[in-house]
Structure 1
Amino acid sequence: MSMSRRTLTAAVFALVLPLSACGSGGDGGGSADASGKVEGDITFQTWNLRANFKPYFEGLIAGFEKKHPGTHVKWIDQPAEGYPDKLSADAAGGTLPDVVNVSPDLVAPLAEAGLALDLDKVAPQYKSDYLPGAWASHQIPGKRGTYAFPWYLNTGPLFYNKALFRKAGLDPDRPPKTYDELFADALRMAKESGGSVATLANVPTIEDFGRYGVPLMNQQGTAFSFNDAKGVELLTKYKELYDAKALDPQALTATPESSGKKFLTGAVAMNPGSALDLGNFKKNAPSLYRNIGITDQITSTGHVNMYVMGVMVNSRTKHTAAAVAFAHFVTDAQNQMSFAKKVAIFPSTAHSLADPYFSKEDGTDETRVRVAAAKSLKNAVNYTPVLFSDQMKTALRNEVAKALQGKESPKAALDNAVSTANRLLKQG
């Protein structure tokens, strides 16, 4: 259930977009009637969840069928690898399941093709059940509607090494709260350590530009815009960090795993993470665990980033009422809370985060992280545009690398990245 399985390829877009007339039932995007009797056989597809959560989903389905006699839910679980391609093939073949586990980027081409039911039209009564940012996460720029129920969320704090802060003459109990403070502390850390300790281990991604307050797309959703003055400002700051070795020299090729190892060994002073990381620190780096600091994500917007999964209803389903009812059942407050207690994720339902499980600490670091993350999620947003594909991410990363290495100016690098992203967007 990795939160990084996020993007369809351009080829998938090309396959799906011509399909607005295929399939059976419904009329392609949102005017199907969900007010009828909840009955009939439907299929429900999840994304790499059977191995760890089979009893949970079997119980979930049994509960729905008991609540709605005359329904039958067939559960299909697909492996993580190749999931976007599987969705594309099903869409092309008219075999898309009735209810489908999606992420925002996966729902975008299906919505464009008229294969995702518009819940704003068909089930608007459920909107208030969810956090506003979660409900909005399955909306498509330039297109009206919401195309999936939000399901589980994730986010995390920033961890920092208090011992390294102390050694650099920084207050270990006052971590940076703003970007200006972060950049200043990072430069001091590098200077005091003679360049042996970086503060950050990753180059900026589209998510980072969003958190910095950069407008990522125009309002129509027809063009990217992260090459504006604020975007150039952020990349220029990262260039200064890179030159001073305040950004790890291997950041250009870093992965979340390699960045985590750098933090574990004390080569990097700060790293994003989750409550799951604390057990790893305690087991594999006890000295780090004794000096671990926990602080909020840094953002200029007042909103942290959320990762979100959703449950989409196929607009071609022959049993719209049953499919909508089941998708809502999977994502209602009671079932989301039950699922959240089995794995380190958070519910997207509006009032669930006020539950003591997410709002009261018991003195452990684990609950401290969980409570802090839950609090931040109440107004979190998904910064990664749903139309930002893997190819676009690669183009941005390559251009950022050129800017950091001095091969291009930050402005030229972002101009090139935006140009490539806009070309890919037009190709569909």
Structure 2
Amino acid sequence: MRTGALTAGALALALLTSGCVAGTSGGTAGTADDQPFEGEVEFWTINLKKNYGAYIDGLIAQYEKDHPKVTVKWVDVPGADMATKLLAAVASGDVPDAVNLASSDLGRFVPSLAPLDALVKPADLADFQPNLVEPLRVDGKLYAVPWYNGGTPVGIYRKSVVTKAGFDEKAPPKTYDEALALADKVYAETKVYGTNDIPGINAASVLRYYGVDLLSADKKKAAFNTPEVAELLATFKQSYDKHGIAPGSISKDVRNFPQSLENGQLAMSASTFAATLLNIQKNAPDVYDDLAITEPVRTETGGYLLLAQQTFAIPKASAHQRAAAEFIKFFANGANQLAFCKLVPIYPSTISSTKDPFFAGQGGDDPMDAARRVIVKGLPKLEYTPLGTLKDMELSESLAEELRAFLQGSKTAEEALKAAEKQWNEALA
């Protein structure tokens, strides 16, 4: 079992928050290949110093020992300050050399970031999961290197409840249609609410599980306002009315749903992050002991959606791009990612890390052990396909808000889709 828990800023990865940044000096980019760098490299992280300062300080000490003419300055930024600090740093030109940036923010800041292809070669990326590297390319250029992520989603089911509705742990729902059918039956048989998955953390991701194209090919207009999607929303409403989708799922506070697995008022989640298990284990041990952990529902291509991953990028205005790239390669290598994963319930982007007995050798029946097996097995199938606009998070939330209005009955499906389409097109204009 892992020890410790993510701070608010670090856990926010699994809940779609942003990365972090700050500033050093601007100037000419890079260091000549044949001239070792001497000087200071500054890098920024999100809310890690309080709980994981010893780990990061240890890495810095090791790097400085191996590179005695290099000094690493670590700046840890509160998550709530991320956007303003990054924008201010970019505007002033006084940027960090290496930036811990959430992938959901990558599209927004690409114009201010340095392409990494000349600094990070294919051999340097060989140990990284290709499916996590490729989404970090924009117009064919690599703008970030993967760090950690929330892992493959898992299915979590309360056995004592869902078995009364015919749930088979060896054949869990493979699609959201199957999951909602089970959730509806669970409430009908037990009067325990089904799931909070819809709207959930990210309404846009739910539509993607159904193969819905959210944007036009040129990413300039919304593409989801169709009769087919209206029919799909109607199935969500039917499940909501039957309490297969729990009443509290329309809450904007996804960390504190009124009905949850933890408080015993929910039966299942067909796709959620394993970090959920930590709170259940701590606050509801009886529920924890009753859980079956399975593979989550899949996309139409058989994969699992990753909502975001933490990455490292290099601002274009950094005076020490090559030195920053060398530090990133060290900081995010397989051994160092594995060490971090042993401290906190996160998952690596490096293949070698997952072959360690910590991941590969877990054979217990404890829910966290079962979740770890599901996650590691599913990492190569993770699909991270951001909208790729400058306003991904804003767009996702506006769609979720309209879906909430529809589920509550204040709008028809057509009205909700039309309103969301208008908001998207205005934001994208």
What is the TM-score of this pair, normalised by structure 2? 0.85
- The alpha-carbon deviation at position 24 of structure 1 amounts to 2.4
Letter of the aligned partner of 2:325 in structure 1? Answer: V
Partner of 1:371: 373
Q: Say whether residues 1:98 and 2:93 are aligned partners.
A: no
Match of 1:252? 250
1:203 matched residue in structure 2: 198
What is the CA-CA distance between 1:222 and the residue it aligns to?
Answer: 3.1
User: What secondary structure, in the 3-state scheme, does the structure 2 residue paired with 1:420 have?
Assistant: helix
Three-state SS of the structure 2 residue aligned to 1:76 is strand
Task: State the AA in 2 paired with 1:198.
Answer: Y
Deviation at 1:183, TM superposition (A): 2.4
1:128-156 Cα distance to aligned partner (Å, 9 max, x none):
3311221133334xx33221111011133
1:144-186 deviation digits (Å, cap 9, x = unpaired): 3221111011133121111111333544654322223212212
Following superposition, the deviation at residue 33 of structure 1 comes to 6.8
Aligned to 1:16: none
Structure-2 change in CA distance of 1:304 and 1:33 (3 Å): farther
After superposition, the Cα gap between the structure-2 partners of 1:36 and 1:208, relative to the gap in structure 1 and judged at 3 Å, is farther
Query: 1:202: how far off?
Result: 4.1
Pick from 413, 416, 419: which aligns with 1:410?
Answer: 413
Instruction: Evaluate the alpha carbon distance shift between residue 288 and residue 116 of structure 1 in structure 2; reply closer, same or farther with a 3 A threshold.
Output: same
Equivalence map 1:102-113=2 (5 Å): 102-112=101-111
- Name the CA distance, whole Å, in 2 between partners of 1:94 and 1:384: 27
CA contact (8 A) 2:359 2:372 kept: yes
Is the deviation greater in 297-306 or in 226-235? 226-235
Partner of 1:13: none
Per the alignment, residue 144 of structure 1 pairs with: 140
Aligned length: 402
Counterpart residue number, 2:290: 291
Q: How far, CA to CA, are the matches of 1:312 and 1:110 in structure 2?
A: 10
In 2, distance between residues paired with 1:351 and 1:227?
A: 43
Cα distance in structure 1, aligned partners of 2:230 and 2:352: 39
Counterpart amino acid of 2:404? A
Contact 1:200 1:268 in 2 (8 A): yes
What secondary structure sits across from 2:142 in the alignment? coil
1:190 maps to what in 2?
187
Structure 1 420/374 Cα, relative in aligned 2: closer, same or farther at 3 Å? same
1:164 to 148, 161, 166: 161
Q: What residue in structure 1 maps to residue 214 of structure 2?
A: 216
Match of 1:257, SS state, is coil
Distance 2:167 2:377 in 1: 27
Match of 1:422 in 2: 425
Q: Secondary structure in 2 aligned to 1:262?
A: coil
Q: Contact (CA 8 Å) 1:139, 1:145: kept in 2 or not? A: yes
Q: Residues 265 and 52 (structure 1 numbering): CA distance in 2 closer, same or farther, change over 3 Å? A: closer
Deviations 1:8-54 (A, max 9, x none): 9xxxxxxxxxxxxx95223xxxxx67735341321111111111111
Question: More deviation in 69-78 or 277-286?
Answer: 277-286
CA distance in 2, matches of 1:278, 1:295: 13
- Are positions 1:134 and 2:132 aligned together? yes
Moved more, 244-253 or 349-358: 349-358
CA RMSD of aligned residues (A): 2.6
Q: Does the 8 Å CA contact 1:119/1:146 hold for their aligned counterparts?
A: yes
CA contact (8 A) 1:48 1:77 kept: yes
Bigger shift: 32-41 or 316-325? 32-41
What is the DSSP-based 3-state SS (H/G/I as helix, E as strand, rest coil) of the residue aligned with 1:264? coil
Q: Tell me by how many angstroms 1:326 deviates.
A: 0.8
Deviations 1:315-338 (A, max 9, x none): 222222211111111111121111
In 2: Cα distance, 1:261 partner to 1:243 partner: 15
Q: Residue type matched to 2:173 in 1? A: P
In structure 2, give the amino acid aligned to 1:189.
V
Q: 1:261 to 1:187 in 2, by over 3 A?
A: closer
The verdict on how the C-alpha distance between 1:279 and 1:6 changes in structure 2, with shifts beyond 3 A counting, is closer
Write the letter of the residue equivalent to 2:48.
L
Residues 218-267 of structure 1 deviation map (CA, whole Å, 9 limit, x = unaligned): 34333343335654443222111112221112221153333385222332
Partner Cα distance (1:423, 1:349) in 2 = 39
Measure the CA separation in 2 of the matches of 1:274 and 1:202. Answer: 11
Structure 1 residues without counterparts, runs of 5 or longer: 9-21, 27-31
Structure 2 Cα separation of the partners of residues 353 and 260 of structure 1: 35
1:334 aligns with 2:335: yes
Q: Equivalent residue of 1:120, what SS?
A: coil
Structure 2 contact 251–257 (Cα < 8 Å) conserved? no
Q: What aligned pairs does 1:341-352 form with structure 2 within 5 A after superposition? A: 341-352=342-353
1:417 is matched by which residue type in structure 2? A
- Counterparts of 1:44 and 1:215 in 2: how far apart (Å)? 37
Q: Does 1:394 align with 2:384?
A: no
Say whether residues 1:381 and 2:376 are aligned partners.
no
Q: Tell me the distance in 1 between the aligned counterparts of 2:33 and 2:418.
A: 49
Structure 2 distance, partners of 1:400, 1:381, is: 24
For residues 354 and 94 of structure 1, do their structure 2 counterparts lie closer, same or farther at Cα, with a shift above 3 Å needed?
same
Q: Distance in 1 between matches of 2:336 and 2:289?
A: 36
Q: Provide Cα deviations, 1:244-294, integer angstroms capped at 9, x if missing partner.
A: 221112221153333385222332211354444445434433432232111
CA distance in 1, matches of 2:286, 2:405: 37
Aligned match for 2:263, one of 251, 262, 265: 265
Residue pair 1:201, 1:254 contacting (<8 A) in 2 also: no
For residue 57 of structure 1, give the secondary structure of its aligned residue in structure 2. helix
Aligned equivalent of 2:81? 82
The reply to whether residue 154 of structure 1 matches residue 165 of structure 2 is no
Alignment partners' CA distance in 1, 2:262 and 2:173: 20
| Runs of at least 5 residues in structure 2 that lack an aligned partner in the other structure | 1-9, 20-24
Query: Aligned AA for 1:6?
Result: T
Q: Distance in 1 between matches of 2:405 and 2:418?
A: 12
**Contact 1:159 / 1:270 at 8 angstroms: preserved in 2?**
yes
Identity %: 29
CA distance in 2, matches of 1:398, 1:279: 28
